[in-house]
Amino acid sequence: MFENGNGERQDAATPLGRKLGSKAERTRALIRDTALASFRERGYDDTTLRLIAEEAAVSLGNAYYYFPTKNHLVQELYAEVQREHRAAATELLAGSDELVERLGVVYRTGLATLEPFHGFAPGFLTAAISPRSPLNPLAEDSAEARELAVGLFRDAVSGARHSLPDDLARGLPEVFWLGYLLLALFWAYDRSPGRERTLRLLDGGLRLLGLALPLARLPLLRRPLRELVDLVAGVRA
């Protein structure tokens, strides 16, 4: 016999996964859901593993067993928000095949999904801003949320009617995602009613993009644009 991470006695001859199975999954899900609710209600700074354990009615050791640090739970939040973003954008994307319109859908639904966290944005930014932070959007630990976001931009591009060169179109989702990070940073500091300044910035950027995209078809500009896209996309390589 030995004691597992739930404080239960476990027969060594019984496979751990089969014995714990559903109970372990329920405990993990309870801790995760409690943490996500706290992040939404209190933000990053005022949410602690001790508080999460108390509200989930589990031991602090049990909370650490499933999530060694608060940052592991923030990654769960990142991924959850991106799944909400995808759900909000997917139905609207089906209504348009024009590239700039589809990008506008992704950007606007992304900002709308983030809006409940606006009051807590400084705490999350402070935790994520360091290049060495596991919460940095470019960090390896952020891979799940990042790929969900880039994948949504990829869907926006691939489902659009356009005549962009294939090699250019393949690199654009990374560029558009990096643009989304910059837009979200501006949004975090935007105190205008309804984030009007952020939305004006987005609308202006989309208008410029609509004017610039046809230039990508010109042979003279195709190569430098391709190199520019590779350079920008290489930021997270």
Cross-strand partners of 10: 2
Collapsed DSSP state (helix, strand, coil) of residue 12 = coil
What's the pLDDT at 19? 46
Percent of the chain, pLDDT > 90?
Answer: 68
Is the pLDDT reported for residue 10 higher than 70?
no
CA-closest candidate to residue 186, choices 173, 195, 176, 194: 195
What is each CA distance from 175 to 205, 225, 233, in whole angstroms?
13, 12, 6
What residues contact residue 138 under an 8 Å CB cut-off, 6+ apart?
Answer: 131, 146, 235, 236
Token pair recorded at residue 112: 């709308």
- Rounded Cα distance between 56 and 73, Å, is 14
What's the pLDDT at 237? 54
Token pair recorded at residue 197: 């300044």
What's the pLDDT at 222? 64
- Rounded Cα distance between 208 and 184, Å, is 19
